[in-house]
Amino acid sequence: MTTVRTVLTIAGLTLREASRRRVLLALTALTVVLLALSGWGFSRLAAESGGTLTTGEARLTASIVLNLVMFGFSLIAALGTAFLAGPTLSGETESGIALAVLARPIRRSAFLLGKWLGLVGFGAGFVVLAGLAQITIVWAVVGYWPPEPASALALLAAQTTVLLTLAMLLSTAISPMASGVVAVGLFCTTWVAGVVGGVGASLGNEAVERVGSVSRMLLPTDGLWRGAMHGFQDPSALIQISGGADADAFPFLSAAPLTPAYLAWAAVWVVMIWGLAATSFLRKDL
């Protein structure tokens, strides 16, 4: 019971500390700018749909643009959480704060778990609130509401958790700045590999398609993102795009929902990476 209370206390302190950092101001500013630009863009779409676009075309366009904007939010969350995880852990280690806290005594694993929970709460909360704001704007402007917003936002939060866990592992081994750069770099690389794999699938090239499949297993961020896209997009979008045959070639359309097996793998991946981070932190010389 004492360990649980300690973990929750550290998580609360981490969440409070994250809310005070300048990263939050940067995330807020980027979010407001993106919401404003998307609101203007969707208003232009609504004006255009009243003239030349059919109802089906307007819904398809709104669906694709919504996925595009949501990718922008996922990228903002990736940048924020990746560059927040490093300073939060490595910064306290280098400054000696972690050593003072752990001398109480507090287990290193409990300290790390508390930090992780606090950062997960921060990142997931940002994604959900920003996503809800964006969906509300789309509904108010063009009247489009995604078919599965709750599951889609949950998958975006899971994507943020995956990247944050990776950044925490990296921060136990390298500098805070380097851990953020590497984590975001891997996030973008995996997304590009997923697009390449989708093009390969549409062309019937199994070797190229395998690039996307392997990358989603090594780092589940792109797989979770594609599951989120499927929840945001209009159900008729796949039919309108060449009958769904070439949907994989479009970076902001998802051909199918995620399978339970893949969701289970993503959860196992997070547990394994967190375990590696805990092992590395236990061996780290404070």
Q: Give the count of beta carbons closer than 10 Å to the beta carbon of residue 77.
A: 26
Q: How would you write the pLDDT of the chain (286 residues) with one tens digit per residue?
A: 567 777 788 788 777 777 776 777 778 888 889 889 888 888 877 776 655 545 666 777 788 888 888 888 888 888 887 777 766 665 555 554 554 455 556 677 788 888 888 888 888 888 899 999 999 988 888 888 888 999 999 999 999 999 999 988 888 888 777 888 888 899 999 999 988 888 887 777 888 888 888 999 999 999 999 999 989 988 776 676 655 556 666 777 887 889 999 999 999 999 999 999 989 888 766 5
Helices 260-283 and 108-142: crossing angle in degrees, nearest 10, is: 140
Residue carrying structure tokens 């196992």: 268
Ordered DSSP codes for 94-113: HHTHHHHHHTTT--HHHHHH
Cα 224 to Cα 202: distance, rounded to the nearest angstrom: 20
pTM (2 d.p.): 0.87
Q: Which helix (H) or strand (E) holds 199?
A: helix 176-203
- Would you give the DSSP letter of residue 87? I
Cα 94 to Cα 18: distance, rounded to the nearest angstrom: 18
